[in-house]
């Protein structure tokens, strides 16, 4: 009886401490903590094993900026419907690849540039499907693996690639590809950070609920996540950490050349498959509250070598979207719905011009 009493007191003490911690973080750090669960699992693409969004997921993200619903289809896309490889002759197919900006963190399902562009083209009587294959944390290396081994199976007419400044670091950290002299070579065929632990913990419904509702859980999980990311950073000799946004990275020449070669490989895959490639220079928020280009360094690597068929420069975004509306300034600094809309308009305009040429 005494033993049960001690166990009960211990249990109640732990519950009280956790509840106290939750209340403290919720009311004192609500503006800085985000509830952005990253539901990912592994996927085999050819000889590579990398991440993908957990198919048939339905969840919410929350920050001081608001709450957003995510619906992931059976393909792992942020689309409301499922799609197979076969496409109808009279329907344009567009594939969007990139990281959390492309997937649409901090915007609703209908506000992503993929969804807005699909609606714009449909309004102009162009039957189309835009597949949003963005995956949070993806770098150009993973996008190359995905496009070459899986993405082209959907037979897209256009591929839209969102390049974020942290791709320089992500490409180095994944260690999927490296440079030997001036050539791109495969280093590893597997990169699934955090996937195994997610496969285990998300078996339990209570963990999923906590990831979307508990500030204490989010704070603890992110602290552990960052610890292992830093360890991975040290292992790959990177000078920076992985964030959803850039944080004043010092981009070295190797990173610039590696990213350039990866983009070049993606461009050649598109050309080989008669696909038009659109590349977006995504706005990058820095710790000094400045927003800068993500691609200036990679574009200067070899300005005479083509990397895209159409390019949306950050300068164009800066000139068209109000400075305080380019990214979510109080949230996690992903691009805003206004920036998504501008990108959608530019992509739709280019695609319509290409359709007229055919």
Find the radius of gyration of the CA atoms of the chain.
Answer: 21
CATH code assigned at 234: 3.40.50.1110
Give the tokens for residue 286. Answer: 């820095």
Burial of 357 (0-12, 13-18, 19+ CB in 10 A): exposed
Calculate what percentage of the chain has a pLDDT beyond 70: 88
Which residues, other chains included, contact 57 with Cβ-Cβ below 8 Å and sequence gap of 6+?
Answer: 39, 70, 71, 72
pLDDT at 144 over 70: yes
Does the residue 194 lie in any domain? yes
The DSSP bridge pattern shows strands 284-285 and 291-292 to be: antiparallel
Does the residue 16 lie in any domain? no
Tell me, what's the pLDDT at 294? Answer: 95
Beta bridge partners of 312: 280
Tell me, what's the pLDDT at 218? Answer: 84
**Which among 29-38, 82-91, 228-237 has the top mean pLDDT?**
82-91
Give the tokens for residue 33. Answer: 């903590």
Q: What confidence tier does 238 reach under pLDDT thresholds 50, 70, 90? A: very low
Does the residue 7 lie in any domain? no
Tell me, what's the pLDDT at 3? Answer: 66
Tell me, what's the pLDDT at 148? Answer: 98
Query: Domain limits at 178?
Result: 38-357
Does the residue 45 lie in any domain? yes
Does the residue 19 lie in any domain? no
pLDDT at 358 over 80: no
Q: What confidence tier does 15 reach under pLDDT thresholds 50, 70, 90? A: low
Contact 185, 178 (CB under 8 A): yes
pLDDT digits (tens, 9 = 90+) for 57-67: 999 999 999 99
Tell me, what's the pLDDT at 232? Answer: 56
Does the residue 2 lie in any domain? no
Give the tokens for residue 197. Answer: 């632990």
| Total domains present in the chain | 1
Calculate what percentage of the chain has a pLDDT beyond 90: 69
Does the residue 335 lie in any domain? yes
Tell me, what's the pLDDT at 175? Answer: 96
Tell me, what's the pLDDT at 178? Answer: 96
Q: What confidence tier does 244 reach under pLDDT thresholds 50, 70, 90? A: very low
Region 106-131: what's the mean pLDDT? 97
pLDDT digits (tens, 9 = 90+) for 159-210: 999 999 999 999 999 999 999 988 999 999 999 998 998 999 999 999 999 9
22-26, 163-167, 270-274, 336-340: range with lowest mean pLDDT: 22-26
Contact 195, 42 (CB under 8 A): yes
Mean pLDDT for all residues in the chain: 89
Beta bridge partners of 67: 62
Higher pLDDT, 32 or 257: 257
**Which among 11-25, 90-104, 315-329 has the top mean pLDDT?**
90-104
Give the tokens for residue 21. Answer: 């911690």
Tell me, what's the pLDDT at 239? Answer: 41
- Round to whole Å and give the CA distance between 108 and 34: 16
Does the residue 269 lie in any domain? yes
∠ CA 141-142-146, rounded to 5°? 125
Q: What confidence tier does 104 reach under pLDDT thresholds 50, 70, 90? A: very high
Higher pLDDT, 349 or 18: 349
pTM over 0.85: yes
């Amino acid at each position: 009886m005494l033993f049960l009493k001690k166990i009960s007191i211990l249990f109640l003490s732990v519950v009280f401490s956790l509840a106290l911690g939750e209340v403290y973080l919720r009311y004192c750090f609500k503006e800085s903590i985000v509830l952005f669960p990253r539901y990912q699992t592994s996927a085999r693409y050819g000889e590579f094993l990398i991440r993908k969004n957990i198919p048939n997921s339905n969840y919410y993200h929350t920050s001081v900026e608001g709450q957003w619903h995510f619906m992931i289809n059976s393909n792992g896309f942020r689309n409301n419907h499922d799609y197979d490889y076969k496409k109808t002759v009279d329907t344009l197919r567009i594939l969007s690849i990139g990281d959390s900006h492309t997937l649409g963190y901090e915007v609703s399902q209908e506000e992503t540039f993929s969804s807005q562009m699909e609606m714009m083209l449909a309004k102009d009587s162009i039957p189309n499907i835009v597949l949003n294959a963005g995956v949070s944390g993806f770098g150009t290396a993973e996008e190359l693996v995905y496009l070459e081994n899986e993405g082209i199976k959907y037979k897209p007419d256009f591929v839209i690639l969102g390049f974020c400044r942290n791709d320089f670091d992500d490409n180095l950290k994944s260690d999927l590809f490296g440079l030997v002299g001036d050539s791109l070579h495969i280093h590893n065929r597997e990169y699934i950070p955090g996937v195994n632990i997610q496969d285990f913990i998300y078996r339990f419904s209570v963990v999923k609920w906590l990831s979307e509702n508990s500030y204490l859980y989010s704070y603890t999980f992110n602290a552990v996540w960052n610890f292992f990311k830093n360890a991975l950073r040290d292992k790959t000799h990177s000078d920076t950490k992985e964030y959803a946004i850039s944080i004043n990275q010092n981009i070295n020449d190797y990173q610039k050349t590696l990213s350039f070669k990866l983009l070049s490989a993606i461009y050649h895959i598109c050309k080989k498959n008669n696909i038009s490639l659109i590349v977006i220079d995504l706005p990058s928020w820095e710790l000094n509250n400045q927003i800068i280009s993500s691609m200036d360094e990679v574009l200067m690597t070899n300005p005479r070598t083509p990397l895209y068929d159409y390019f949306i420069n950050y300068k164009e975004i800066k000139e068209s979207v109000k400075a305080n509306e380019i990214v979510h300034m109080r949230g996690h600094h992903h691009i805003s719905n206004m920036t998504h809309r501008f990108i959608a308009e530019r992509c739709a305009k280019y695609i319509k011009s290409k359709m007229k040429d055919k």
